[in-house]
Amino acid sequence: MMDKNSKILITGATGFIGTTLVRQLLADGYRLRCMSRSNPVFPPGFEGDPKDLWENPNCEHFQGDASDPDSIRKAVKGCRYIFHLAGYAKNYSKDPSIYKHINIDAMRNVFQTGKEEAVERIVWTSTIVTLGPTMPGEIGNEDTPRKTDKYFTEYEETKSIAEKEAFQWIKNGLPLVIVNPTRVYGPGQLSEGNALGRLIDDYDRGKMPFLPNRGINIGNYVLVDDVAKGHYLAMEKGRIGERYILGGENASLKEFFQIISKITGKKHFQIPMLVPGPLIFSYMQLYAAKIFGIYPRITPGWIRTFVADWTYSCDKAKKELGYSPASLEEGLAKTIDWLYKMRKAV
DSSP-derived secondary structure for 118-164: T-SEEEEE--GGGG-PBPTT--B-TTPPP--S--SSHHHHHHHHHHH
Average pLDDT along the chain, 346 residues, taken 10 residues at a time: 89 92 95 83 52 84 90 95 95 92 96 96 98 96 93 97 98 98 90 86 85 95 98 98 98 96 90 89 91 90 94 98 98 95 76
Instruction: Please report, for residues 97, 231, 243, the alpha-carbon distance to residue 297 in angstroms, rounded to integers and kept in the order given.
Output: 20, 29, 31
At 70, is the secondary structure helix, strand, or coil? helix
Neighbours of 239 (CB within 10 A): 11
Q: What's residue 336's pLDDT? A: 95
CB 273 within 8 A of CB 211: yes
The one-letter code for the residue type at 46 is F
Q: Containing H/E element for 214?
A: none
What is the DSSP pairing of strand 249-252 with strand 218-223?
antiparallel
d(Cα 298, Cα 301) in Å, to the nearest integer?
Answer: 8
Query: Residue 36: exposed, middle, or buried by beta-carbon count in 10 A (0-12, 13-18, 19+)?
Result: buried
What is the reported pTM?
0.94
The DSSP call for residue 75 is H
First to last CA, the chain: 40
CB 234 within 8 A of CB 193: no
At 82, is the secondary structure helix, strand, or coil? strand
Q: What's residue 37's pLDDT? A: 78
Paired strand residues for 272: 211
- Closest Cα to residue 271, out of 195, 203, 336? 203
Residues in the chain: 346
- Closest Cα to residue 189, out of 311, 1, 8, 12? 12
User: Phi/psi of residue 222, each to 5°?
Assistant: -140, 140
CB 228 within 8 A of CB 181: no
At 185, is the secondary structure helix, strand, or coil? strand
